[in-house]
Structure 1
């Protein structure tokens, strides 16, 4: 199965349809609901809903999902009946397969209930297709419509001294580049509050976004938040709330991060992230769509930088 552990939950909806060709007298039986086995449409609706809820048991590589809504409706036309399935969830992956499975099982159920009344060649499942999907990458984009200048500051004595590689910083750098932040300035700094503040002040003039990694924890030298919080005049608490909430579902230690985010006086967006590889990856997974949205809707934030 595909690893979706770093994908944030979002509301997702999918609609799929399937068609069953049938002779006129069979379609009339659907309208009246009269067959030996009962009402075909009512039975098919229940079958489709059950199928949506059990898709992960039917298709080997589908993830089990909480189904918050599943429904099947029908349209009877001159030569066919169409099953239209809609499924909704709040999860890290979509419900396209659930909707397709629901529509498929619904028309198969109708097929089963009509087959005693006609020849096999008179019944034919003509199509099964996805009509609409909302949520996830197609709805919450992770790509900027235009380049935005940004700076990434990694604060760590150990990395600066070469005692360990900068896996967290390089990972965040790659994600920012893929999202369209450019030019992107990358720099290593020691755990020194005065030097950190001076570099942030200097970089504000040419960058719309500044992200720091490290110094958001409980150690005596974790000074990033204390040094940079006074620079923020318009806080965006939701960014760090989202990062901590996302991380806490993976480790309880995420609740200890003191990271802050917000706009400085010149509209530079300042974000302070954890320095650990896991903390940085999880935080970026949680907030990158929001960061992209900020600069997509506020074009003025990149002007004059």
Structure 2
């Protein structure tokens, strides 16, 4: 058993809202409304319990991550024969807050039950569910279906067959997993003209996404960014900056990458990735879900 690895996800604002209710007798509702329950103010106590419930979620649920909570709000509403609880939980992190919101609702309703059990033996908690969530991958991620992709490995040693290329084939696998049609894969030496020729060839063949691996460092032979820059129609700086931000989570050496991301035409983008298999995996898993939207924008579509 294990928790989900969220280390390669974006830290971004996420929100979850949950609701639920406890059915009880109209007489008990009136006792709550008139604040005649001996243990105290039921509504106020339930609100506090709900907030504590959200905070304590990872201690109760073994697969929930201990995540920062930036905002928790719990509200209760009295009906004729029920008390309804609503909780909203919000924070900036790599995973969602749905369970925290539901646990807040459950703790609020359980507090109502505990405080009123001496007066009502027929209480039933029901309908606890998430009614809204935002900020997760479902808000912005798209697969690559309908797009054509190609991979260019840039490596003198792999070109001379002195070592096996592993990063290029891994990029091919991942692009296929995201739904792209991979129309080509090639290995070229660390030479500017050879790189440019491969990029232009795949663009002419109709590739919408060209991924390069290798040649992004400081070595005298590392010229992939320079070759790419000479062909760019528009640079996509945000991707390059985000790749650095992601990479340094795993190794400070990511700062030594000079990778470029940009458009070769309104219908074709190129992404420079490091030559390591792990670097290819981390970057494609993070950023590939954004490629289709980026290309839609390049073709004239809106945000």
Q: How does 1:166-181 map to 2 (within 5 A)?
A: 166-181=165-180
Cross-structure match for 2:278: 278
Q: How does 1:100-249 map to 2 (within 5 A)?
A: 100-118=102-120, 120=121, 122-144=122-144, 146-205=145-204, 206-249=206-249
Q: Name the CA distance, whole Å, in 1 between partners of 2:50 and 2:74.
A: 7
Displacement of 1:178 after TM fit?
2.1
Q: Secondary structure at the match of 2:262?
A: strand
TM-score (normalised: structure 2): 0.91
Q: Secondary structure at the match of 1:264?
A: strand
Q: Which runs of 5+ in 2 are unaligned?
A: none
Change (3 A) 1:98 1:165: farther
Given the alignment of the two structures, is residue 63 of structure 1 paired with residue 65 of structure 2, yes or no? yes
Residues 110-169 of structure 1: CA deviation (Å, up to 9, x unaligned): 111111223x2x21112322222223232122313x411222111122333444433322
The answer to whether the 8 A contact 2:267-2:298 is kept is no
Q: Name the CA distance, whole Å, in 2 between partners of 1:244 and 1:51.
A: 37
Q: CA RMSD in A?
A: 2.0
Displacement of 1:18 after TM fit?
1.9
* Count of residue correspondences: 298
Q: Name the CA distance, whole Å, in 1 between partners of 2:165 and 2:86.
A: 51
The answer to whether the 8 A contact 2:225-2:272 is kept is yes
Change (3 A) 1:105 1:238: same
The answer to whether the 8 A contact 1:244-1:283 is kept is no
Displacement of 1:211 after TM fit?
1.6
Change (3 A) 1:164 1:108: farther
Given the alignment of the two structures, is residue 287 of structure 1 paired with residue 287 of structure 2, yes or no? yes
Cross-structure match for 1:27: 29
